[in-house]
């Protein structure tokens, strides 16, 4: 069975699945950790969620698309805003999250920590 791309429910959830970096698969291909979504009592699509480390890469790529330039090319204020957004999304609870974000922003880990501390102190 293939994913019914023309099913209205599958079409409705696709933007959400794409935003979180998941993959839509046929329900009969679902594994134990996949989420099977049903419509009117019938399985329509299964969602394979990304690994947490892949999620951070996906979030960073999405932010780069939104800004239209590499994150390292952003000005300091915008980089601080990106760090706030990433903190809200839990990016720094991922192992090596600070290092990954620092690399994407083209700054040091120390700078990312400063941005985080600045936010907490209200500066």
List the structure tokens of 73. Answer: 């090319």
Average pLDDT per block of 10 residues along the chain, 123 residues long: 75 89 92 93 92 82 94 97 92 90 97 87 61
Indicate the pTM of the whole model: 0.66
Measured distance CA(104)–CA(88) in Å, rounded: 17
The residue count of the chain comes to 123
pLDDT value at position 72?
Answer: 97
Q: Sheet of 42-48: strands edge to edge?
A: 23-25, 42-48, 35-39
């Amino acid at each position: 069975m293939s994913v019914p791309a023309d099913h209205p429910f599958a079409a409705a959830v696709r933007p959400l699945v794409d935003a979180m970096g998941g993959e839509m698969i046929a329900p009969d291909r679902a594994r134990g950790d996949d989420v099977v979504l049903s419509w009117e009592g019938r399985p329509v699509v299964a969602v394979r969620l990304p690994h947490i480390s892949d999620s951070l890469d996906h979030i960073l790529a999405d932010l780069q698309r939104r800004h239209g330039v590499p994150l390292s090319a952003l000005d300091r204020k915008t980089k601080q805003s990106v760090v706030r957004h990433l903190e809200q999304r839990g990016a720094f609870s991922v192992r090596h999250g600070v290092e990954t974000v620092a690399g994407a922003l083209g700054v040091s880990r120390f700078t990312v920590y400063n941005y985080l501390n600045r936010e907490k102190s209200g500066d």
